[in-house]
A and B are shown apart, each in its own frame.
Chain A
Amino acid sequence: MTRPKVAFFDFSCCEGCQLQVANLGEALLDILALVDLVEFREVMSEKWSGRYSVTFAEGSICSDEAAEKLRKLRERSDVLVAYGSCAATGGVNGMQNRIPREKLISTVYGDQWRAEETRGVRAIHQVVKVDYTLFGCPINPAEFLRLLTAILGGISWHASDNAVCVECKFNENVCMYDRGATCLGPITRGGCNSWCVNNGNVCYGCRGMVSNPNRAGAEEVLQAHGLKPELIAGKMGMYTGALEADDGT
């Protein structure tokens, strides 16, 4: 049996998710025994001209050029995986969608800006069909391995739709609210094994909210902890700005 051809690509992102893959250590060797890694800019210089069995796409889509490149990848790939927050929800890049384009671009580039250079930020699924989605900023290595196992086995895979609090309680962390902090764990999609809280940080909501969040209830809780509505909206939408105008273009 020929081994699946696996490739990694990145669009607008910090490349931190591919770093997570590159840093898998021994598990990476196990993966390499099962697949042919044909393209992965962070770890190799080879290119592949044939068909991809599995393509991992990191990053959000911020220009027509990137969208075109993504469409070509989609055509050449049997399975396309959007991995990492930028790819899955637009990530922090999506925050710029809330700012008028001209103002945004002139602020960043001064009077050198060209209007056609970039457009609004889109998640991968807003441009092409996605077969699997892995959330997280960055992706969680253990969850990546579970997803890869499912893909190699041709098994469908669903990201967790439970709140981060579920795993956080499994890990018996002292609640951030008890420590006087506010945390988005109660309404954020889990699957990360409450990674941030385990390490002393609050949850920033990098996976976006669960599919049916009690947004009003959460806002009330955050307000009771002294947060102003604008700050709450900013926190809740930090990783999902690209999804707000989901016109599917």
Chain B
Amino acid sequence: MNQALLSKSRLADFVSYLVSGHKVVAPVPLQEGRFKFDEVQSLADISLNYIPTILPPKKYFMPQRSTLLRYDLSKGQDMEEMVELEKLVLFGVHTCDLAGIQCLNIVFSDRPKDLHYLARNNFITVIGLECSDYCDSFAGCAMLHNHLPKGGYDLFLTELAECYYVHINTQKGEEMIEEASIFEAATKAAEGELERLRSRKKELFTSEVPIRYQDIPRLFEETFDSDVWSQLGEKCLSCGNCTSVCPTCFCFDILDEPELDLGSGERVRVWDSCQNEAFAAVAGGDNFRKKRLERQRHRFHRKFKYLMDRYGRLFCTGCGRCSRSCMAGINLKRTISALIEERG
């Protein structure tokens, strides 16, 4: 059985069931209509209707700061590779963020594998939640084909009139359903309702920018020297917001954090950003992306070309976070539109 139904009145029971056995994180409200993934105790804590959280769920897979190893100099440069693990249920993940997690999985599973990431990934259960409408004008999920679920979850919930339609994608998901024992078998009526919802979505969600998914890399290839990049370079403040909030930005720095007595400490990795001035600098003094326009162009090309060339999929999920958080009003959809217009 790959489908089940959860009556709306039982959703709170399902969250209670999850909370009874796991640490559950889900979107919670902040000020000014913003949200973040945070630990919840009950359905009442959760915002089911939310726009993308400030930080994407990548913070659980690849935290802002995480330990790679611990060293102890008193024992002759001893070291032990470490990973901080926590069993988590990630509840209410939208399809754009599921796509973001898939992108990270691809990168960190690519050889040489990143065991720190993969160990953490194994500890996280993902429960998706379907959007029935656009979050806001920044969203570009249809252009990136991420408005509909394409895997990346254990369970996926779609809200229907009376109940949630649940797609069970993994054995782990199935076991949760069994154990919670509040789910019912899917009905033909519910399946019909789901199909109608999806067809409605197909009409509602259309590529937000006039370009097809498969044509995007070529657009970027052909507009490398476009004036659009100089304009972005003039506006960009290099604050790094766009990369911190991006669900598929995974660049990092590696630092040693010694204890005060220097005898022991940790080697950690922390998020880094290609927008930071020194990101591509070398010790001799050369900086290979000194100009802001080069750094912004690098970011866009990473999303729409470079990683496509390397991993075979676009690394933008269409979540809109970069545009939503840009101090200078750099807007991803408008940038792509400008490139299309300039190319003619």
Please say whether the chains A and B touch (CB closer than 8 A). yes
Partner of B31, one of A177, A179, A224: A179
A144-187: contact bitstring with B at CB < 8 Å (1 yes, 0 no)? 01101100110000000111011001101111011100000111
A135 to chain B, nearest CB (A): 16
Q: Are B277 and A221 in contact (CB under 8 A)?
A: no
Q: Is the interface of B mostly helix, strand, loop or mixed?
A: loop
Within 8 A of B (CB), among A224-238: 224
Chain A residues near B65 (CB-CB < 8 A) = 170
A211, B281: Cα distance in complex, Å: 14
Q: Is the interface of A mostly helix, strand, loop or mixed?
A: helix
Within 8 A of A (CB), among B125-173: none
B256-274: contact bitstring with A at CB < 8 Å (1 yes, 0 no)? 0111111000000001010
B328 within 8 A of A: yes
B54 within 8 A of A: yes
B287-303: contact bitstring with A at CB < 8 Å (1 yes, 0 no)? 00000100000000000
Interface size on A, residues (CB 8 A): 38
Q: Are B262 and A149 in contact (CB under 8 A)?
A: yes
B238 within 8 A of A: yes
Residue of A nearest to B270 (CB): A170
Q: Are B30 and A166 in contact (CB under 8 A)?
A: no
Is the interface on chain B under 10, 10 to 19, 20 to 34, or 35 or more residues? 35 or more
Within 8 A of A (CB), among B290-332: 292, 325, 327-329
Chain B residues near A161 (CB-CB < 8 A) = 276-278
A218 within 8 A of B: yes
Q: Are A162 and B292 in contact (CB under 8 A)?
A: no
Residues of B within 8 A of A (CB): 30-32, 34, 36, 54-55, 59, 64-65, 234-241, 244-245, 257-262, 271, 273, 276-278, 292, 325, 327-329
Top 6 closest A-B pairs, CB basis?
A169-B244, A165-B239, A186-B239, A170-B64, A186-B237, A166-B240
Residues of A within 8 A of B (CB): 27, 30-31, 34, 145-146, 148-149, 152-153, 161-163, 165-166, 169-170, 172-175, 177-179, 185-187, 210-214, 216-218, 220-221, 224
